[in-house]
Amino acid sequence: FPTASGTNVPSKDFGERIHVENEVPEITARELYDLIEGDTPPRIFDTRTEVEFERFCVPTGCSLPGGELILHAWDLDQDRETPLIINCAGRTRSIIGTQALHRLGVTHARALKNGGMGIILEGLQLEEGKPSEIPAPSEQSRAHGEVLGAQVAEEEGIPFV
């Protein structure tokens, strides 16, 4: 029987399984920075907590903690021409956030491979001390998110208390 133990190991294992089983699309740090400097800068959403975001973030990135993604799914899907990148510090929350958006129909989202750590390993710069300003979803997107949440819960047999 497979065993996973240690700090954050079960969640990392889960993320890697999601990544492999669903073939979650990724973008490398270098590819992302080329997009940032190019003619069509991407929309970048950081799925970490606000506190983590304020420590460091991808330049031009916006804080959007993972639990908020479903409320923004409709809004994020309206512009399929602009690259949509989901990131975190490592890779797990990028993978989970991207796959969640794909399940919700936002299929042009890509995960930042290795997250902020991938940027550091590539010798690129992160932004520090940027205030976390989580955008408000539109009313239409919020309502759509509530419907999607109920739909996924029903599909997965998740009861409401």
Positive or negative: CA dihedral 87, 88, 90, 91: negative
The verdict on residue 2 lying in a domain is: no
> Which secondary-structure segment (H or E) carries 151?
helix 139-156
Q: What is the pLDDT of residues 102-148, one digit of tens each?
A: 999 999 999 999 999 999 999 999 999 999 999 999 999 999 999 99
Total-model pTM = 0.91
The verdict on residue 1 lying in a domain is: no
The verdict on residue 135 lying in a domain is: yes
Q: What CATH number is given to the structural domain containing 114?
A: 3.40.250.10
Lowest mean pLDDT among 14-23, 36-45, 52-61, 105-114: 14-23
The verdict on residue 161 lying in a domain is: no
The verdict on residue 64 lying in a domain is: yes
The verdict on residue 129 lying in a domain is: yes
Q: Range of 65's domain?
A: 9-155
Q: What is the pLDDT of residues 48-94, one digit of tens each?
A: 999 999 999 999 999 999 999 999 999 999 999 999 999 999 999 99
What the block records as the tokens of 126 is 């992160």
User: In angstroms, what CA-CA distances link 138 with 11, 43, 148, 151?
Assistant: 31, 17, 15, 20
The verdict on residue 3 lying in a domain is: no
CA distance 57 to 52: 8
The verdict on residue 54 lying in a domain is: yes
Beta bridge partners of 44: 85
Lowest mean pLDDT among 12-16, 48-52, 119-123, 154-158: 12-16
Look at residues 120, 63, 122 and name the one whose alpha carbon lies nearest to residue 93: 63
Domain count, the chain: 1
User: In angstroms, what CA-CA distances link 28 with 25, 65, 67, 72, 101?
Assistant: 10, 21, 24, 24, 19
